[in-house]
Amino acid sequence: MIRTRRALRALVLAWALVCCIVQTAWADELTLWHSYRGAEQETLEGLLDEWNQQHPELTVTAEPFAPSVYTSKLTNDIPQGNGPDLFIAAHERVGDWSQTKLLAEWTEQDASFTAYHPATVEALVYDGKRWGVPLSYKSAALFYNTEMVKSPPDTTDALIAEAKKHTAPKEKRYGLVYESTNMYMHAGWLFGFGGQIFDEQGNFILESKESARSFAFARALINEHGIVPEEADGTLVSHLFNSKQAAFAINGPWFLGELDKDLPFAIAPLPIVSATGQPAKPFLTVEAAFISARSKNPDGARKIALFLADKQASITRAIKGRQPVANLSAYQDRRISEDRILMTFRRQLDATVPMPNRPEMSSVWEPTNRALRRVMRGAVEPDAALTEAKALFEVFQRPPPKERSLAPLITGLALLLLIALVIGVRRFTRENMWPKVKANLPAYVYLAPAILGMMILIVIPFVVGSIVSLFVHTQGSFTFVGLENFWRIITSQDYGVTDPLSFYFTLLVTVMWTAINVFLHVSIGMGLALLLREPWLKLRGIYRVLLIVPWAVPNYITALIWKGMFHKQFGAINGLLDALGLEPISWFSKFSTAFAANVTTNTWLGFPFMMVVILGALQAIPRDLEEAAEVDGATWWQRMRYVTLPLLRPSLVPAVVLGTVWTFNMFNIIYLVSGGEPDGATEILISESYKWAFERQNQYGYAAAYSVLIFLVLLAYSASTGQLKTRD
Amino acid sequence: MRTISTPKLIATHVSLMAACAIVLYPVLWVIKMALTPSQGFSMSPNPIPDQVSMSNFHHLVTMNDGIFWRQLGNSIIISVATTVIGVALACTAAYAFSRFRFPGRTLGMAGFLITQMFPGVVMAIPLYILLNRLDLLNTLSGLVLVYSTSSLPFCVWMLKGYFDTIPRDLEEAAIMDGASQWVIFTQVILPLARPAIVVTALFSFMTAWNEFILAATFLTKREMFTLPMVLQSFVGSYSTDWGYFAAGAIIVSLPVMLLFFALQKFLVGGLTAGAVKG
């Protein structure tokens, strides 16, 4: 009897133990990616902590990412198997992502979508299927300063009248500020006037009378009514509204984080367009939780997504994270229904147009932004601008070349390899190299680690990466097309040779850009280095440290500050010109001035490096030589030419050659300062390549072909100028 | 010491001060935005901040449970390791190129130069795949390896050029005294090449310290992030937290300035003069 009881107890204990082991073995850890920061991030992570406490068998860790790299990380890491189980992102890429098989579908069994606002659910549908759970939404609305404006206007005529009362350009005060040359911000007017971007079948139908009227309206706000400043970008809008120099601003919920704490403001829905009687309808962006197609536990991930979207979590996200939430039941909570900011965005939601989630949408921005810029600065009429936009859109959407067979490539490569091998072996045996190799063995030993590193980490990745140029990338699949990409670029198909989009135009701009910059960097660097090496100069240590500041401070922020300094109305440079009694210049509307702005910024950033290199190189020159020459009666210039410069050469040449190469590929400045303005004229080859890869339908093959051509141009340049030879 | 004429002295100081003014002017706004407790971008003509507050800095070091110190540590470790490895590899390679004439020498030097012409964006994905295979994603060592090799070409060329200016007589004298190749390299050549080593060390450090794209491609766990990634996290799709970004920019610039300040006396050494007479 006792034995049976003992046996039973042992069995029960064993069973309990097994259950525990199995339980912990089955405890799953999921990852969630997002690009939130600040209050939104804290709220999200607080909610996930709550989930983890209640569900120890299914825990989740959150990883935040910088918004600028977030989408590339998703598209890169998920197919490689290193992605998250679920992620929170904006809905605009749903078309792209579902076609490239990054997302897991949501079927009727997984969830009922009735709790959420229909517009937010609709935004996540592509190809008749649902791809995510809506969490929150964003759209633009009308912000106004409550000290200046007592009640918000409900029509555009009223808005214009009220804004005029607060406009005084001489005092730099404007009635209304918004990014007039940004299609995203213009959308409110576009849809209010009845314009459309795509029709049901996905045809691009922006070119219409209604769209042209909206463009004319926006231009009138700047020119005729004068209530909107020219060249307003995000930073200007933020600056003017914050410093109470603007009565109204059109912006989205993200604007709340930029406003000063004591600024008296309120928000209202965008007004009704008086000309059509329709409300201005801004774009709707939905932030949703998506499940990765490669997740090992999609059901667990779905549970977490639904938890974040449910009523309780939505209330928390609305109150703590200040997110306008998609779950309608959250609005029953008084804390939300009495929150004027959240309720304004809720009202605006009923008058929005979901951003189209088709893959073609990513090609819409560049043509439409350019059209807006050209219309706003008076370069072209709205009708013509829209026709241009359509033409550019079609260039980006052009059908890919036909597939080619791999056979010629393989045979070609094999042949090349064979020839190289034969030549190498013949040279080796003919010139009797073996004894020379043996004699110089220590050299090879010294070189081995560096060469190995270069081969594995630079040469091979470049070769692999440039092979992409032989393919065309559409919707996640690559088709082999041989040299077709190169052919298209070199023969400048789709656009003329003198068009800024053509390879030759961009090449010419890049060469000019490089030559002028390197000349300025070297001369300024040399001048300063020569001054700073003099031992009689007190404080030279301090001067040196101060002068390398442009090199030390991250160039992202300084480039944007320089861009701000070149602003036509609010920039310091025009302020200086004004003080000197000169005409202010519109820097970014002409090629020469935009180019000059880029060169100025890059020179400011680049001369410290040359200065330091030359300072170091000057140390190798014995002062006795220079002093002897001076005693012999040589002038400063003769000393420079016959003593200093020749002795500087061995150290200077690599810096100049490499400086040339780096300037040729200096992407940051072009992208941040002129942004390629006007109309793509100041683009250089590398920034053009970037746009083809990331802003024009992800045409990676075409962009890679550009990169290979950049390499070949630089190679040809250094080979022809003899810089590849070692002169000793 | 030669006496210098007063007009020349004044002219030199004036031009240097003008240069410093132009150089520092934009940076005044960075400082202003860092010290102002708001996230807007300042475009006012006045670079003096209206209110001075350390709240941006405070937020930077306390956000995400104070992970900032760990991320600062990551950046320091990566940059120092890159500098040490990069300079070490470059010194040995440059010495080989300078002192030996061997088959493949011209090709090798040209090769180093040619690799700099590869646009980096083409290599990001293949490098990702390579590091993935080697299990080096999300590690500091992976980044150190990649950064060291990318700073090599400039360092090799610069050091080789500098080594070329060091007279062979010194080495020959040392050989006659019975010194081995290694001793000559470390005790004779390297000390004389200090200015060039300082330039290459500074360059390698900066390459690693400010690099963002590759770090963002290879790192996914926030405790492995580097400072440039922390800075970029403030740049949103529609708006940027300029106060935090500016504060971060100041923090990121300070170590570089300090490093340069510490190293600059080696930069202006002038040690070869008079070492060998005749």
DSSP letters, A84-145, are -SEEEEEGGGHHHHHHTT-B--B-TTT---TTB-HHHHHTTEETTEE--EEEEEE--EEEEE
A403: left (phi over 0), alpha (psi -120 to 50) or beta: beta
Contacts of A72 in chain B (CB under 8 A): 217
- The alpha-carbon gap from B193 to the nearest alpha carbon of chain A, in Å, equals 9
Interface contact A457-B132, CB threshold 8 A: no
- The alpha-carbon gap from A77 to the nearest alpha carbon of chain B, in Å, equals 9
Q: A125-134, A442-451, A489-498, B98-107: which range is least confident on average?
A: A489-498
- The alpha-carbon gap from B69 to the nearest alpha carbon of chain A, in Å, equals 17
Q: Domain with A653 in it: what CATH number? A: 1.10.3720.10
Burial class (CB within 10 angstroms; exposed 0-12, middle 13-18, buried 19+) of A395? middle
Q: Which residue has the higher pLDDT, A627 or A278?
A: A278
Asked if the structure places residue A425 within a domain, the reply is no
Interface contact B206-A551, CB threshold 8 A: yes
Q: What is the mean pLDDT of residues A303-329?
A: 95
Q: A81-85, A243-247, A318-322, A697-701: which range is least confident on average?
A: A697-701
Q: Which of B22, B103, B160 sits opposite A433 (nearest CB)?
A: B103
d(CA B157, CA B115): 13
pLDDT in tens, B74-85: 999 999 999 999
Q: Domain with A33 in it: what CATH number? A: 3.40.190.10
Q: What is the pTM of this model?
A: 0.88
The structural domains of chain B, ordered by start, are 76-224 (1.10.3720.10)
d(CA A317, CA A45): 11
| pLDDT score, position B278 | 36
Asked if the structure places residue A678 within a domain, the reply is yes
d(CA A440, CA A78): 49
| pLDDT score, position A19 | 56
- The alpha-carbon gap from A392 to the nearest alpha carbon of chain B, in Å, equals 24
Contacts of B157 in chain A (CB under 8 A): 654, 657-658
ipTM greater than 0.90 = no
Interface contact A77-B9, CB threshold 8 A: no
Which residues have C-beta within 8 Å of that of residue A348, sequence separation ≥ 6?
A139, A140, A141, A269, A270, A282
Domains held by chain A: number: 3
| pLDDT score, position A119 | 94
| pLDDT score, position A725 | 65
pLDDT bracket for residue B171 (50, 70, 90): confident
Asked if pLDDT for residue B8 goes beyond 90, the answer is no
A151 and A273 share one domain:
yes
Which residues have C-beta within 8 Å of that of residue A717, sequence separation ≥ 6?
A660
Residue A193 backbone dihedrals phi, psi, to 5 degrees: -85, -5
pLDDT bracket for residue A521 (50, 70, 90): very high
Q: Which residues span the domain enclosing A234?
A: 141-281+364-396
The helix/strand/coil state of A10 is: helix
Interface contact A77-B220, CB threshold 8 A: yes
Asked if the structure places residue A713 within a domain, the reply is no
| pLDDT score, position B269 | 57
A49 and A152 share one domain:
no
Q: What is the mean pLDDT of residues A366-385?
A: 94
Asked if the structure places residue A207 within a domain, the reply is yes
A133 and A253 share one domain:
no
A540 and A679 share one domain:
yes
Residue A130 backbone dihedrals phi, psi, to 5 degrees: -100, 140
Q: What is the mean pLDDT of residues A691-695?
A: 86
Beta A28-34 vs A58-64: how paired, if at all? parallel
Q: Which of A624, A718, A728 sits opposite B164 (nearest CB)?
A: A728
A111 and A181 share one domain:
no
Mean pLDDT of chain A: 89
Chain A residue with Cα closest to B194? A616
Nearest Cα residue to A119 out of A355, A364, A360, A362: A355
Q: Which residue's entry shows tokens 């590091």?
A: B131
| pLDDT score, position B270 | 43
A105 and A158 share one domain:
no
A274 and A290 share one domain:
no
- The alpha-carbon gap from B70 to the nearest alpha carbon of chain A, in Å, equals 16
Nearest Cα residue to A87 out of A74, A100, A105, A72: A74
d(CA A366, CA A200): 22
| pLDDT score, position A718 | 83
Asked if pLDDT for residue B42 goes beyond 80, the answer is no
pLDDT in tens, A264-289: 999 999 999 999 999 999 999 999 99
Asked if the structure places residue A651 within a domain, the reply is yes
Contact A687, A667 (CB under 8 A): yes
Q: Which of B15, B160, B249 sits opposite A554 (nearest CB)?
A: B249
d(CA A66, CA A68): 6
Provide the number of CB pairs (under 8 Å) joining chain A to chain B.
369
User: Which stretch of DSSP H or E encloses residue A287?
Assistant: strand A283-291
Asked if the structure places residue A403 within a domain, the reply is no
pLDDT in tens, A192-202: 999 999 998 88
Asked if the structure places residue A111 within a domain, the reply is yes
A538 and A684 share one domain:
yes
Asked if the structure places residue A459 within a domain, the reply is no
Interface contact B89-A454, CB threshold 8 A: no
Chain A residue with Cα closest to B131? A457
Asked if pLDDT for residue A14 goes beyond 70, the answer is no
Q: Which of A75, A91, A292, A561 to mutate to test the interface with B (most CBs of B within 10 A)?
A: A561
Residue A381 backbone dihedrals phi, psi, to 5 degrees: -80, 155
**Residue A589: DSSP 8-state:** G
Asked if pLDDT for residue B276 goes beyond 60, the answer is no
A274 and A292 share one domain:
no
Q: A207-211, A397-401, A507-511, B143-147: which range is least confident on average?
A: A397-401
A319 and A215 share one domain:
no
A204 and A110 share one domain:
no
Q: What is the mean pLDDT of residues A413-419?
A: 89
A154 and A268 share one domain:
yes
